Chain A
Amino acid sequence: MGKKLLLLICTLLLSAGPLLAQTYNEEAKQDLESLKPGTSNFLARGYSHAGFQSIDGNSSFVSGQYAPILMWKQGDRILFESELEIEFEGDGVQFALEYANISYILNDYAILRVGNFLTPFGAFNDRIHPAWINKLPTAPLGMGHDPVGPTNEFGAELRGAADLGNSKFNYSLYLSNGSILSVHDEDSTSAPEVSLSGLNFEDNNNEKAIGGRFGFLPFNNSALELGVSAQYTSNIANKDFDYGKVGMLNYAFDLSFVKNSIQPIKGNIDIKAQWNQSNIDEFELVLPDGDELIFDQKSSAYYTQIAYRPSLSSSPFLSKLEFVGRYSGIDLPEASEEHGDEPETTSPKVSENGTSNSLRLKSLFTPEVVGGGEEEEVHNEGDRTQIAFGINYWISWRSVIKFSYQITDNNEDTFSGMYLHYALGF
């Protein structure tokens, strides 16, 4: 009896420690959970950036872009997602709804998404434009403000991903309202203005855009991704457009190579590249004074970027640095100076009555939808190339100080810009 009692006491004493420890761990975990940003299905994430910049001798502090991403997950299959952009612009504050959509997970290989979503056209617009992800304070030419190619769709999309042996692929296929082509030719004394907008939330015609992107990851470490994107619309003009239907074909190629912790170079390598091409069907504008102008818009933009971070360096300071170089360019069709003037540029189109001219889009796609908080340099007219160098200091995985210097060449002059920005993802 005495031995049994002793055994029972010993057992109780031995089990008390782990039980107390487990209770303590549970309490500690609950305390920790209570300190985290939230424990509901609703989630607010996003990014912000601010800083100082000097462009062509004009220096200024720039601040205040706040881009919250709001998500709500309903059960295992439904996700609502939206992104706002709030920033100072002009004399006030500008609010923009970058996207708002609902996704329904059909199965392991397919997701249906409806609403307003970023166009899966290349990778920069869809994935890389947020300030804390983009490794330089500015967007590549033709990928940020005034991009070449669509940035935003109102439609329905099927997307997904799957393994293919040791490789992987992801895909997107969508139908959308497409873009809007608008011609403002009320004034017969000057050249009409032609603009293209992606904010086609009430379709301006019955022709829908069809497009998609296919990404292929040949290696099982996901280091390399090759993507091809396209979008076609048989008509982007209004139903009652005087000049008939105007079609548009856009396509893009993108490449990403990311390899971390490479021993021989003691760090990470990140290579990105993309090429966008946008072609709008040629059409003639007849002006009130009888002259004809031929509108022919074929434009392209491209960039390649390499970044190296010595993450395996024995120096804690060096391991947080990242060195970035980028070359980008944009090619736009040459424009005449004014209506009726002989163009100074090459290969003007000649209409039936012998009038020669060409026009440039006043605006490519709606700039608000892709800025991502990245300030575009100010000289945004005409063909340009740009080379940019940057040094980043990563304070944490989502918090970075970015310093960069870039030179933009428009074939006549060069302009320089210096940027010191802080970007935060949250």
Chain B
Amino acid sequence: MKFSGISKLLTLVILTTLAFTTYSCSTSKETTEATSNDGLDDLSFTLEKSGAVLWGETCGRCHNAPDPTAFSDRQWDAIGSHMRIRAGLTAEETEKIVTFLQQSN
């Protein structure tokens, strides 16, 4: 009974993960490195994600993306640090998301 329950759980998790991983792989190339092919090999650029995109993707890992007008600029600063620590955000993600929220409130 116990083994059966765990097996079902693991099977379900593995199957769902594989399915959505496949989907995710095929649709998650928002950040792209591109190099020109006209002979200027040193001319490369990176399309970086905006704070708005990161706000949707990163906050949504645990909860709904917050309304920018819900807090003041100073509060978003403190909340950004809180979420960086709590949810394991990178420093760059945190800075971009906080800047977006401060500019949008």
Q: Which of A36-44, A57-65, A89-97, A177-185 contacts B (4 or more CB under 8 A)?
A: A36-44
In the complex, what distance in Å separates the CA atom of A305 from the CA atom of B31? 30
Chain B interface mostly helix, strand, loop or mixed? Answer: helix
Q: Is the CB of B90 within 8 A of A256?
A: no
Given contacts A38-B72, A39-B72, A222-B61, contact A71 B82 (CB under 8 A): yes
Q: Which of B28, B69, B92 has the most CB of A within 10 A?
A: B28
Residues on B with C-beta less than 8 A from A225 are: 61
Residue in contact with B60 in the complex, picked from A160, A258, A394, CB distance below 8 Å:
A258
Is B20's CB within 8 Å of the partner chain A?
yes
Task: Kindly count the residue-residue contacts between A and B in the assembled complex, taking CB atoms under 8 Å apart.
Answer: 160
B1-53 residues at the A interface, CB under 8 angstroms:
1-2, 5-6, 8-9, 12-13, 16-17, 20-21, 23-25, 27-31, 49
Q: Is the CB of A79 within 8 A of B31?
A: no
In the complex, what distance in Å separates the CA atom of A302 from the CA atom of B64? 24
- CB closest residue in chain A, given B71: A36
Is B104's CB within 8 Å of the partner chain A?
no
Q: Is the CB of B85 within 8 A of A111?
A: yes
Q: Is the CB of B9 within 8 A of A127?
A: no
In the complex, what distance in Å separates the CA atom of A133 from the CA atom of B57? 16
With both chains docked as a complex, state the minimum distance between the C-beta of B53 and any C-beta of chain A, in angstroms: 9
Residue in contact with B66 in the complex, picked from A38, A302, A397, CB distance below 8 Å:
A397
Q: Is the CB of B9 within 8 A of A73?
A: no
CB<8 Å pairs between A and B, sample of 25: A37-B71, A38-B72, A39-B74, A39-B75, A41-B74, A73-B81, A79-B81, A126-B86, A160-B88, A161-B90, A161-B91, A162-B90, A163-B90, A163-B92, A219-B25, A220-B49, A221-B28, A221-B30, A223-B28, A224-B20, A258-B60, A258-B61, A260-B56, A385-B5, A425-B63
Known contacts A36-B72, A43-B78, A79-B85; 7 additional CB pairs below 8 A are A43-B75, A161-B93, A219-B24, A221-B28, A224-B24, A260-B60, A398-B64
